[in-house]
Amino acid sequence: MAERSFAEEVKKLRLGAGEEFRGEGILAITKALLESGVSYVAGYQGAPISHLMDVLADANEILEDLGVHFENSASEATAAATLAASVNYPLRGAVTFKAPVGTNVASDALANLTSGGVKGGAMIIIGEDYGEGSSIMQERSHPFAMKSQIWLLDPRPNLPTIVRMVEKGFELSEASNTPVMLEVRIRACHVYGRFTTKDNVRPSFTLKDAIERPVRDVTRIAMPPGTYVHEKEKVEKRWPAAVKFIAENELNEFFDGEAADIGIVMQGGMYNTTLRGLEVNGLADAFGKAKVPIYVLNVTYPLVDAEFVKFCAGKKAILIVEEGQPDFIEQAVNTILRRADIQTKVHGKDMLSMAGEYTGAVVRDGLKRFVARYRGDMLPEERPVEGDNSRKSAMAAVNGQVQPRPPSFCTGCPERPIFTAMKLVERELGPHHVSCDIGCHLFSIFPPFNIGATTMGYGLGGAGASAFNVKADKRVISIMGDGGFWHNGLASSVGNAVFNKSDNVIVVVDNGYTSATGGQDIPSSFWNNPIRATQNSIEKAVRGVGVEWARTITRTYDLAKMRDTLKEALTTPERGPKVIVAQSECMLNKQRRVRPQMRAAVERGERVVRERFGVDADTCTGDHSCIRLSGCPSLTIAPHPDPLRKEPVTKVLDSCVGCGLCGEVAHAAKLCPSFYRASIIENPTAWDQMKAKLRVAVIGFFQRRLARKAAFA
Amino acid sequence: MLDRANPEIVAGLEARAIRIAILAMGGEGGGVLAEWIVDLAEHAGYLAQLTSVPGVAQRTGATIYYVELFPKSALPEGAPEPVMALMPMPGDVDIVIASELMEAGRAVQRGLVTPDRTALIASTHRVFAMTEKIAMADGRADAPTLLEACRNSAKIFFGADLAAAAERTGSVISAVLFGALAQSRTLPFEREAFETTIDRAGVGVAASKRGFAAGMAAVSGNAAGVPAGDAGSRTSATAQAPAGSPTEATDAPLAALVARAEGAFPASVRPIVRAGLERLADYQDLDYAQDYLLRLKPIADAERRHGDGSGRLLAETARELALGMAYEDTIRVAELKIRASRFTRVRDEVRARDGQIVEIAEFMHPRLKEIAESVPAWLGRLMLRPGIVRSAVENATRKGRVVKTTSIRGFLQLYLVASLKTWRRSSLRFAEEEARLTSWLERIVAIAAKNYALAVELAECRGLVKGYGDTHERGVANYESIIALVDRLAGRPEPAQRLHELRKAAVADDSGSALKAAIAQLGTS
Ligand SMILES: Cc1ncc(C[n+]2csc(CCOP(=O)(O)OP(=O)(O)O)c2C)c(N)n1
Ligand code: SF4
Ligand code: SF4
């Protein structure tokens, strides 16, 4: 069960011909897949296409009605390999994952797939996680397309264009026997817009047909001598076929402009930002009518040489708006023009920046630089901006004040106590080298925990510690999520540690989901999933690959146990890897599940106990150790109510879910006695009320006595 | 001013999409607010585009939602749809909505708020960033600076504590911001259109409407901005009254003592002395409060003789002395935990309603040393000496204890501890604290004669001694190592400044490495 439900929105997937669809990019892509008659879809979650996986899961019924099979792949490699179904059969299929990390994992399968080529249309929808809001290293997917020869579609970020490119992409794939990649950037995935729908298409050839009437063609298998033939085919047949299809179907777009001696070329995904840049420079109106001719590459690989030759005819210079580095397109265009002996000057990274997201301001300024160089006459006169000085001084003033807000563990997160325990162990045994993985647990590298030295990728937490496998007085700790564990970690991290006789410690954070991506289910998820097999034990799995020392802690909030188990793992003389499975449900998802249940129970008049923590301000001396050992968003500071004190007190917000960590920390770290737990009993029973009455009577008596004593002190 | 209410005029003049950036933190409903704006605009004949950058940032990080609206009526016959941007461009945003003051500051920092065009609608309350929260002392950003920057960089600024408005109305901040947006009249839609949008959304309509109305009221007539003092007022408004002051009994002898003291001290320190007297009478008894006055006397003299007119020495010493005399021991903690006023305060804080029962449990970790120090000295020494008494106490305190104060048993346990107050003066800890305070006061007086500023710094150093258990021990150690250096510092240039730096280094981290480094540097310079 994912954090966000699309149960309502997926109904739009049933819209028929001529109706208006309104919604997010990912939903539009799904609709386009159905309109294109896909037989199967698969993928692995990761921003920005996690929600595409959620949409597909929530739409399973609609997919089944249409005879479309959906798989939650074990990894991107699995997803890419799924496309093998399109090699021998006229089956259209699509897979999706995050790029470039997912593409990295998938590349073995992708290379094998592209070598032999495909018969049915094969599409890889990649969420290009680049620029603001990205959670990974800044790289491009472009070279994957180039090296394996996959056609790369980069549509203008509006729904009609995206939908058209899905549809045309399948045709292109079939016309050239080559898989295609549809690249969508973060904002395009979530852009809300409209398009006119068509009827969904039920695949004419089905998976069942293929299973029951199998065919094979040995020449499509990536094995010599076939591979040599494939390489020739790629350049001699498939490439020309693709170029022909792209040109004939006008997948790339040309827009006229009065300044015929210059021009702007851009990746489709850069279109809106570029047009806005032109608009604020007075070079375009709000409707996309620009004074400078424009050439939009909705297909960024392969480039169509003839189109460039045509566009550059009679032009002094062009500017290429190509986000990310290296400048593959710019280099290719230079080669194309050189070969055609065309003297048009090619600008790009010299006017825009080499690295970094092409934000509105970067593009606006680059465009201005370019136009000023060749057609300064077209730029409006510069006027000083009203109030610019007060803006500048305000910006300077906030500089020291505005502090970053890196992502951190949610309120009540079960992963937090694991790192609190590590902090406590550090106090006793000193610091350890910690190898991290990918997931919410990686937030440990930020304050307040500041734990973790490296991350080498998903499921590679243990693998990242492999070299530290020599005799030493300390051990190395690796962290891995349950998601990473099933994705890659079981073999690459745990199996590897067993085989190489490592003595190190691996902590598997078993919170029931891939939480960082919104809470998708995995093989060890705690709850039933009607379409997947869950509740497979991680401890059993690691024992299966040969781990002897394995402990499952069923409540991570048990801080003392967490700390002692870690200490034991770090000090036990027993040989072989020590695996600690630290189990408690992701709080974000738990709350989503439990809250409505509690509310309903209260409404039914049932007895419900809600717990939350608080801090007594009059005993809090404001040194905030509790926050440094927890970092829960519900723990904050407030001005000290005591006029004698200056330091702010710790305060627990009403958002506290009573996970209990605050109390555990106060005990385990021997902090101050300021924390209290309040249990609020809704709809108390008669017994509760009787007990309460008695207590009020007795306690009240002593409280009055206390007050009297104080008065006569 | 332009008639924003007439789409034709807007279109004819500008044919430009309205650009709106919303800065919010995960869980604040920034997305809901953005969707409301889209729905509102679409029903009023606008084309709308919305984007955001979710991902892990959605949890607790800052997120920007970006909306563009374009009036359909401005579309020329047969024109293509307008091209709308996917991200805000500095200098090109018409409306910025920020859910919190630092987020508003972030918008300013990113250049999204410009005096020539941007209306800034912001809640002026603070949600502290992690770096502010984990400081060992006070690491908060300066709210007035942020507020000032908002006012200076916006064309028009609508600011108010909208979180408080949300709390008051049992609503959420997104609804209140929606109201503030309506009130700002920066969008060409009437109030009714905003409200029907909330109706259409269909969830929690009544609460959202209340929040919406509160948002409108909060920023009505404040286009010029809010008074600087408002920033952060929410936290101070909701902070509890300290239970340490004897609010439960008005007490005539104490009042007389306070009145007497007020005559003897300059106006600037009176509130502190008053608070000190009340605290100590509550902490121990009237005699103890009187002791306080006696001890302050030499400092008052020193202030008169060597002071620079600021009264700082007296004020700081009076403050620190009161805190030092009312040190936190198990007796004090027990007493504060069992008061009737505290039970009420907890009920308020956890927002318990009538008919609900609230049970309170404390997380205590008294250790042998703390117990031994709170009982009469003879018993304390017995506890600390190896033997059966010591091991019995040690055994009982090995693990932290959860004491249920609302149960009769738990209450009586704490009541018993609180009753030790009668013997507090004969405890080991009392003697230890007394000695420390006495020598501290004597040194202040001595130094004040030579260097007033240094004496003030010395007075403030006592603040390092606070807290419980390890924190207290660490504080005492830091305090003592710094105090030991005062004489050495006195012979050097700018000793007050140096002492100040040492004191700051002591609270820079909890490992003590900053202080160690600072002291080491002192040795070499
Ligand atoms: C190769 C790769 N695939 C997908 C992702 C996207 N991704 C980031 S975090 C995450 C989920 C992590 O889940 P888990 O390991 O269970 O840790 P949790 O977030 O639950 O703590 C995923 C799939 C990625 N970063 N790299
Ligand atoms: S999503 Fe779940 S696992 Fe991730 S930080 Fe939040 S509570 Fe923790
Ligand atoms: S108990 Fe503490 S850590 Fe747990 S949710 Fe409440 S404030 Fe956060």
Q: What is the pLDDT of residues B501-523, one digit of tens each?
A: 999 999 888 888 899 999 988 87
Contact A278, A157 (CB under 8 A): no
Q: Give the torsion through C-alpha atoms of B181, B183, B187, B190, to 10 deg.
A: 120
Nearest to A710 among B50, B249, B359 (CB): B249
Characterize the bridge pairing of strands A122-128 and A93-99: parallel
A693/chain B closest Cα distance in angstroms = 10
Q: What is the DSSP string of B84-143?
A: --SS--TT--SEEEESSHHHHHHHHHTT---TTT-EEEEE------HHHHS-SS-----H
Assess whether pLDDT exceeds 60 at residue B267. Answer: yes
Q: Does B113 touch chain A (CB under 8 A)?
A: yes
> pLDDT averaged over chain A?
95
A4 Cα: distance to centroid of ligand 2 (angstroms): 14
The interface residues of chain B toward chain A in range 425-464, judged by CB-CB distance below 8 A, are: 463
Q: Is the pLDDT at B246 greater than 70, yes or no?
A: no
Residue A234 has pLDDT above 70, yes or no: yes
| Intrachain domains A253-377 and A607-682 with the same fold | no
Q: Hey, what are B72's tokens?
A: 């359909």
Chains A, B: CB contacts under 8 A, how many?
A: 402
Mean pLDDT of A398-407: 89
Q: Is the pLDDT of residue A171 over 70?
A: yes
Interchain CB distance below 8 Å, B141 and A678:
no
Residue A276's closest chain B neighbor by CA? B85
B93-134 confidence digits (pLDDT tens): 999 999 999 999 999 999 999 999 999 999 999 999 999 999
Look up residue A84 and give its amino acid: A
The radius of gyration of chain B from alpha carbons, rounded to an integer in Å, stands at: 30
Alpha-carbon distance B20 to B94, whole Å? 6
Instruction: Tell me if chain A has a CB within 8 Å of the CB of B50.
Output: yes
- Distance, in Å, from the CA atom of A272 to the CA atom of B68, rounded to the nearest integer, reads 12
User: How many angstroms from the chain centroid is the CA of residue A226?
Assistant: 37
At residue A279, what is the residue type? E
Would you say residue A122 has pLDDT above 50?
A: yes
Contact A322, A142 (CB under 8 A): no
Which positions in chain A touch B16 (Cβ < 8 Å)? 286
- Give pLDDT, residue B525: 58
Tokens of A313: 């005819």
Answer for the pair B65, B30: CB distance below 8 angstroms, yes or no: yes
CA B325 to chain centre: 25
Contact A318, A264 (CB under 8 A): yes
Provide the pLDDT for residue A94: 98
Work out whether strand A578-583 and strand A505-510 pair parallel, antiparallel, or are unpaired: parallel
The SS3 call for residue A389 is helix
- From chain B, pick out residues whose CB is under 8 angstroms from the CB of A46: none
Instruction: Name the band, by pLDDT with cuts 50, 70 and 90, for residue A675.
Output: very high
Whether A675 is in the pocket of ligand 3, judged by its Cβ within 6 Å, is no
Ligand 1 atom nearest A101 alpha carbon: 1
List the single range of A1-5, A354-358, B102-106, B181-185 with lowest mean pLDDT: A1-5
Mutate to test the pocket of ligand 1, among A126, A189, A438 (most ligand atoms within 8 A of CB): A438
- Cross-chain residue pair B405–A676, CB shorter than 8 Å: yes
Chain A environment of B333 (Cβ under 8 Å): 619, 673
- Which whole-number Å values give the CA distances from A81 to A67, A75, A119, in the listed order? 21, 10, 15
Q: Please list, in sequence order, all residues whose beta carbon lies within 8 angstroms of the beta carbon of residue B16, skipping any fewer than 6 positions away.
A: A286
B115 with A676: Cβ contact below 8 A: no
Among B87, B142, B145, whose Cβ lies nearest the Cβ of A359? B87
3-state secondary structure of B208: helix
User: Residue A648: what are its φ and ψ, rounded to 5°?
Assistant: -65, 150
Dihedral angle sign, alpha carbons of residues A134, A139, A143, A147 = negative
Most confident of A92-96, A702-706, B246-250: A92-96
Give chain A's count of helices (H) and strands (E): 26, 24
What pLDDT, on the 0 to 100 scale, is given for residue B396? Answer: 81
Most B-contacting residue of A274, A395, A630 (CB-CB within 10 A), to test interface: A395
Measured in whole angstroms, how far is the alpha carbon of residue A286 from the centre of its chain? 32
Residue of A nearest to B235 (CA): A638
Q: Tell me: pLDDT of A1 over 60.
A: no
Residue B239, pLDDT score: 36
Which of A64, A83, A82 is closest to A202 using CA atoms?
A64
For residue A44, pLDDT beyond 80? yes
pLDDT for B13 equals 42
H/E stretch holding B328 reads none
* pLDDT higher than threshold 70 for residue B7: no
The mean per-residue pLDDT over the stretch A263-280 comes to 97
Ligand 2 neighbourhood includes A56 CB (under 6 angstroms):
no
Rounded to an integer, the average pLDDT of A631-638 is: 93
Encode A620-631: b = buried (16+ Cβ within 10 Å), e = exposed.
Answer: bbbbbbbbbbbb
Nearest CA to ligand 2 atom 1: A515
Q: Which residues of A touch B315 (CB under 8 A)?
A: none
pLDDT digits (tens, 9 = 90+) for A332-379: 999 999 999 999 999 999 999 999 999 999 999 999 999 999 999 999
For A607-682, give the CATH class: alpha beta
Beta bridge partners of A480: A508
In chain B, the percentage of residues whose pLDDT exceeds 90 is 66
Please state, in angstroms and rounded to a whole number, the distance separating the CA atoms of residues B177 and B53.
Answer: 20
Q: Looking at residue A501, what is its pLDDT?
A: 98
Backbone angles phi, psi at B477, to 5 degrees: -60, -45
> Is ipTM strictly over 0.90?
yes
For the record, the structure tokens of B457 come out as 């710094």
Which of B63, B242, B319 lies at the smallest CB-CB distance from A641?
B242
Q: Is A271's CB within 8 Å of B319's CB? A: no
Average pLDDT, chain B: 88
Residue B354, number of CB atoms within 10 A of its CB: 5
Quote the percentage of chain B above a pLDDT of 70: 90
pLDDT-derived band of residue B240, with 50, 70 and 90 as boundaries? Answer: very low
> The tokens of A363 are what?
């593009």
Q: Find the closest chain A residue to B248 by CA distance.
A: A707
- Residue in B87, B248, B412 closest to A360 by CB: B87
Q: Do A186 and B53 touch (CB under 8 A)?
A: yes
Of residues A708 and A247, more confidence is placed in: A247
**Ligand 2, atom 6, residue with closest C-alpha:** A410
Flag the least confident range among B48-62, B101-115, B359-373.
B48-62
Q: Which of A45, A672, A681 to mutate to test the interface with B (most CBs of B within 10 A)?
A: A672
CA distance A1 to chain B (A): 17
Distance CA A419, CA A425 (A): 10
The domain limits of chain A are 9-248, 253-377, 416-589, 607-682, 685-713
pLDDT band at A257 (very low <50, low <70, confident <90, very high): very high
Rg (C-alpha) for chain A, rounded Å, is 30
**Which residue, among A413, A416, A570, has the nearest Cα to A504 in the 3D structure?**
A570
CATH of domain B7-239: 3.40.920.10
Confidence (pLDDT) at A53:
95
pLDDT tens by residue, B122-172:
999 999 999 999 988 889 999 999 999 999 999 999 999 999 999 999 999
Contact with chain A for residue B497, Cβ under 8 A: no
Residue A88 pLDDT: 98
Q: Dihedral of CA B326/B328/B334/B336: which sign?
A: positive
Question: What stretch of H or E contains A317?
Answer: strand A317-321
Query: What pLDDT does B5 receive?
Result: 53
The proportion of chain A whose per-residue pLDDT surpasses 90, expressed as a percent, equals 91
- CA of A611 relative to ligand 3 center, distance in Å: 10
Q: Measured between alpha carbons, how far is A324 from A551 in angstroms, rounded to an integer? A: 45
Sign of the Cα pseudo-torsion (B161, B164, B169, B174, in order)? positive
Q: Which range among A95-109, A540-554, B31-45, B459-473 shows the weakest confidence by mean pLDDT?
A: B459-473
The two tokens of residue A149 are: 């020869």
Contact present, A524 and A532 (Cβ < 8 Å): no
Closest CA to A94 of A138, A59, A54, A52: A52
Nearest CB neighbour to B15, from listed A134, A285, A645: A285
Which of B68, B133, B251, B401 best probes binding to A when mutated, by most A CB atoms within 10 angstroms? Answer: B133
Determine whether the interchain pair A190/B52 forms a contact, defined as Cβ–Cβ distance below 8 Å: yes
Q: Is the dihedral of CA A28, A32, A38, A43 positive or negative?
A: negative
What is the pLDDT, as a whole number, of residue B234? 34
**A-contacting residues of B 211-270, CB under 8 Å?**
232, 235-236, 238-244, 246, 248-249, 251
Q: Best mutation site among A586, A591, A655 for ligand 2, i.e. most ligand atoms within 8 A of its Cβ?
A: A586
Average pLDDT over residues A615-638: 91
**Per-residue confidence (pLDDT) for residue B250, from 0 to 100:** 57
CB contact under 8 A, A280 and B50: no
- Is the per-residue pLDDT at B284 higher than 70? yes
CA-wise closest residue to A468 among A456, A486, A451: A456
C-beta of A636 in contact with ligand 3 (< 6 A): no
Closest in A187, A401, A633 to B87, CB measured: A187
Best residue in B357, B405, B465, B474 to probe A by mutation, most A CBs within 10 Å?
B357
What CATH superfamily is the domain A416-589? Thiamin diphosphate (ThDP)-binding fold, Pyr/PP domains (3.40.50.970)
- What order do you get walking across the sheet with A477-481 strand by strand? A454-455, A434-436, A477-481, A505-510, A578-583, A549-553
Nearest Cα residue in chain B from A185: B53
Q: What is the fold of A253-377?
A: Rossmann fold (3.40.50)
Cβ-in-10-Å burial (0-12, 13-18, 19+) of A67 comes to: middle
Judge whether B438 and B462 are in contact, CB under 8 Å.
Answer: no
Cβ of B80 under 8 Å from any chain A Cβ?
yes
> What are the boundaries of each domain within chain B?
7-239, 252-328+429-524, 330-428
- Helix intervals (H) in A608-685: 625-628, 661-668
What atom of ligand 2 comes closest to residue A443's alpha carbon?
5
3-state helix, strand, coil in chain B (%, to 5): 60, 10, 30
Residue A635 Cβ inside 6 Å of ligand 3? The answer reads: yes
Tell me which chain A residue has its CA closest to the CA of residue B58.
A407
The minimum-distance atom of ligand 3 relative to the CA of A660 is: 1
Question: What phi and psi values does residue B109 have, to the nearest 5 degrees?
Answer: -60, -35
Per-residue pLDDT at B175 exceeds 50? yes
Q: Three-class SS string for A511-579?
A: CCCECCCCCECCCCCCCCECCECCCCCHHHHHHHCCCCEEEEECCCCCHHHHHHHHHHHHHCCCCCCEE
Question: Once rounded to an integer, what is the mean pLDDT over residues A178-196?
Answer: 93
- Tell me what the mean pLDDT of segment B215-227 comes to: 72
Q: Any idea which fold A9-248 has? A: Rossmann fold (3.40.50)
pLDDT of residue B83: 93
